[in-house]
Amino acid sequence: MVRFIARRLLLAVITLWLLATIVFVITNVLPNNVGRTILGPFAPEETVNALNERLGTNRPILVRYVDSLRGLVTLDFGNSFVSGKAVLPQVVGAVGRSAKLAGLALLITIPISIAAGLYAARRRDRFADRAIVLLGVTLSSIPEFVTGTILVVVVGVGLRWLPVLATAPDNADVLTQIRFLLMPAIAMAIVYFGYIARMTRAGTIEVLQSDYTRTALMKGLTTGQTMRRHVVRNALVPTVAVIAVQIGYLFGGIIAVEKIFNYNGMGSTMLFAAQHKDLPMLTAGVIIIGIVYMLATLAADLIMAWMNPRIRLDAER
């Protein structure tokens, strides 16, 4: 297991480096003129050049590359073009707020999706199964901003059950905060329900068809006992992987949701940065979320490895 962890960490570091490089390529190699982008098409040439000089965008590529890597390692992502202040604290704060929303969404969707997946697998090809699969396919096709919109119209405006704006008043207690975050969280949870439920279903079906499930039933175990002791553990392994991957998509879709519900999380921050051409802010956001995704997949890989005795014991047989 130790060897596995070491190898996985090494790969993660390499991937991180590649990630940073890709971002660098986008911001520095693709044809663009930073000064021009900031000042707009009507600014005079000299002002643009002066700005570029100041921002250091005219230096040779290699120098800029090394600089960006150094910044990555020291966690210094530079200063915002808009506010002039250091970018990282702002991004981290925003990510933290988004994490609350994402966390609530996951908290809602994971138990329901897994339960649905298990239920569908048990009643395979019967009505309940088909309904759940269809529901999953349908719901996961709908972009978050669409579900958010529909929710707002139906639940927020029509039925008036939940507040429409997600930002609770300052110093609100946890329960109130949750009340405010509930609709956007549900909007996101709906999308991910489809993936997680279907993956759980597929994993469970495979386990249900396996020989060792047959052995358990032939020993005389009830289906309930079989499910609990033999099926669920093995079926959830691919689900763990899916959940990790979804965490990456979560932070993508969250932007749209935050816009609709007017929540000051990472999505809004990034959107603002995009509208104001604040490259350092955007870059930092991309890299931080990339790191979050990598950590999530790393954790998922480690969990799955731990659950697999072959890897856990490093046994060679």
- Of 40-99, binders to other proteins (CB under 8 A) are none
Spatial separation of the C-alpha atoms in residues 52 and 30, rounded to whole Å: 16
171 binds other proteins (CB under 8 A): no
Output 140 or 173, the one with its CB closest to other proteins: 140
Question: What's the min distance (Å) between Cβ of 132 and other proteins?
Answer: 13
Q: Site for other proteins (CB under 8 A): how many residues?
A: 90
Closest CB to other proteins among residues 29, 63: 29
The verdict on 160 binding other proteins (CB under 8 A) reads: no
C-beta closer to other proteins: residue 245 or 302 = 245
Judged by beta carbon, residue 171 or residue 203, the one nearer other proteins is 203
Applying CB under 8 A, among 52, 213, 239, 246 the residue interacting with other proteins is 213
280 touches 80 (CB < 8 A): yes
Query: In the complex, what is the shortest distance from the CB of residue 33 to other proteins, in angstroms, rounded to a whole number?
Result: 10
CB of residue 135 to other proteins, shortest distance in Å:
11
What residues are paired with 79 via a beta bridge? 86
Q: Looking at 58-66, 105-113, 151-159, 176-184, which segment touches other proteins (CB under 8 A)?
A: 151-159
Quick one: which of 66, 137, 161, 228 contacts other proteins (CB under 8 A)? 137
Q: Which of residues 268-297 bind other proteins (CB under 8 A)?
A: 270-271, 274-275, 277, 279, 282-283, 285-286, 289-290, 293-294, 297
Position 135 contacts other proteins (CB under 8 A): no
CB of 170 to other proteins, least distance (A): 22
